[in-house]
């Protein structure tokens, strides 16, 4: 149980284009999902918190117009990187909090974004 | 300020050589402390949640313990497949956002 999937696992795009990453909770409902970014050999950096049916809450320094988050259902959240630039290249990971559980967050496998 | 510090940054063990990883934390109030395992190029894998001082949890060769100031992840007779980065995170009672430590990179040599 408690499986979170992400799609795609890897994506390469050209500078100036937009990329959408999907995060799904496969066997549980998640009213809250989180998006993280991870640089090589560093820990996870929280970008935003998304709650189903409401606007995402972004961490300080994260551009909400560049990183669009939509949490349209209890099992799906999407992150769209708009007008991507090489500095947006990173490992993006989502997590989901099981509504029926206590506080555990379960993480997806991550998406490697490379902007050329 | 809520903070999590993990030590050591890196640890090299011989197969079968038991050791412990440390996670020290300062938080105004603790909802829970979490241990995750992360393999290169993958998302963190949930291992344990600890809620109160004195609590212990075990899974195969791993055992996690919690005091009011720190948590230990004990690895007994590790195998090469235990090589990974181990992340500790706390959930303060003022938020639902995890606060992560920088991790301990464990390498177990055969």
pLDDT tens, N- to C-terminus, chain B (110 residues): 889 999 999 999 999 999 999 999 999 899 999 999 999 999 999 999 999 999 999 999 999 999 999 999 999 999 999 999 999 999 998 888 999 999 999 999 99
Nearest alpha-carbon partner for A48 in B81, B71, B96, B28:
B96
Query: In the predicted model, is pLDDT for residue A97 greater than 70?
Result: yes
Strand partners, B85: B38, B105
Distance CA B101, CA B39 (A): 16
Exposure b/e, B7-37, CB count within 10 A at least 16 = b: eeeebebeeeeeeebebebebeebbbbbbbb
Q: What is the pLDDT of residue A84?
A: 96
Q: What is the DSSP string of B12-49?
A: EEETT--EEEEEEEE-SSEEEEEEEEE-TTS--EEEEE
CA-nearest residue to B48 within chain A is: A104
* pLDDT confidence band for A98 (50 / 70 / 90): confident
CB atoms A109 and B49 under 8 Å: no
To the nearest whole Å, the CA of A101 is away from the closest chain B CA by 12
H-only helix segments in A1-116: none
In angstroms, the Cα distances linking B98 to B1, B19, B40, B46, B101 are 14, 26, 21, 13, 10
Q: What is the pLDDT of residue B1?
A: 86
Q: Mutate which of A1, A24, A102, A105 to disrupt the B interface (most B C-beta within 10 Å)? A: A105
Q: What is the pLDDT of residue A99?
A: 72
- The DSSP call for residue A59 is P
Distance CA B72, CA B96 (A): 23
> Could you read off the pLDDT of A52-83 as tens digits, one per residue?
888 899 999 999 999 999 998 999 999 999 99
Q: What is the pLDDT of residue A101?
A: 65
Q: What is the DSSP pairing of strand B19-26 with strand A76-81?
A: unpaired
Distance CA B64, CA B19 (A): 12
CB B25 within 8 A of CB B87: no
CA quadruple B42, A88, A18, A14: dihedral positive or negative? negative
Distance CA A109, CA B77 (A): 28
CB atoms B41 and A44 under 8 Å: no
Length of chain B, in residues: 110
- The DSSP call for residue B1 is -
Q: What is the pLDDT of residue A103?
A: 80
Which positions in chain B touch A46 (Cβ < 8 Å)? 97-98
> Could you read off the pLDDT of A17-45 as tens digits, one per residue?
999 999 999 998 888 999 999 998 888 99
Distance CA B32, CA B34 (A): 7
């Amino acid at each position: 149980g408690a499986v979170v999937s992400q799609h795609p696992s890897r994506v390469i795009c050209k500078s100036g284009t937009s990329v959408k990453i999907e995060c799904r909770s496969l066997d549980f409902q998640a009213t809250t999902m989180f998006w993280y970014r991870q640089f090589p050999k560093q820990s996870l950096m929280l970008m935003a918190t998304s709650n189903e049916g409401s606007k995402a809450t972004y961490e300080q320094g994260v551009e909400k117009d560049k990183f669009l988050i939509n949490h349209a259902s209890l099992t799906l959240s999407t992150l769209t990187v708009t007008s991507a630039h090489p500095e947006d290249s990173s490992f993006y990971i989502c997590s989901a909090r099981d509504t029926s559980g206590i506080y555990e967050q379960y993480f997806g496998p991550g998406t490697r974004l490379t902007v050329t | 300020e809520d903070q999590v510090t993990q030590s050591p940054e890196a640890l090299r063990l011989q197969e079968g050589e038991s050791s412990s990883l440390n996670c020290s934390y300062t938080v105004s109030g603790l909802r829970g402390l979490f241990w995750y395992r992360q393999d290169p190029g993958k998302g963190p894998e949930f291992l344990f949640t600890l809620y109160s001082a004195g609590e212990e949890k075990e899974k195969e060769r791993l055992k996690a313990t919690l005091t009011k100031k720190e948590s230990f992840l004990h690895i007994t007779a590790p195998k090469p497949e235990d090589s990974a980065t181990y992340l500790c995170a706390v959930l303060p009672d003022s938020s639902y956002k995890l606060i992560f430590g920088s991790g301990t990179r464990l390498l177990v040599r055969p």
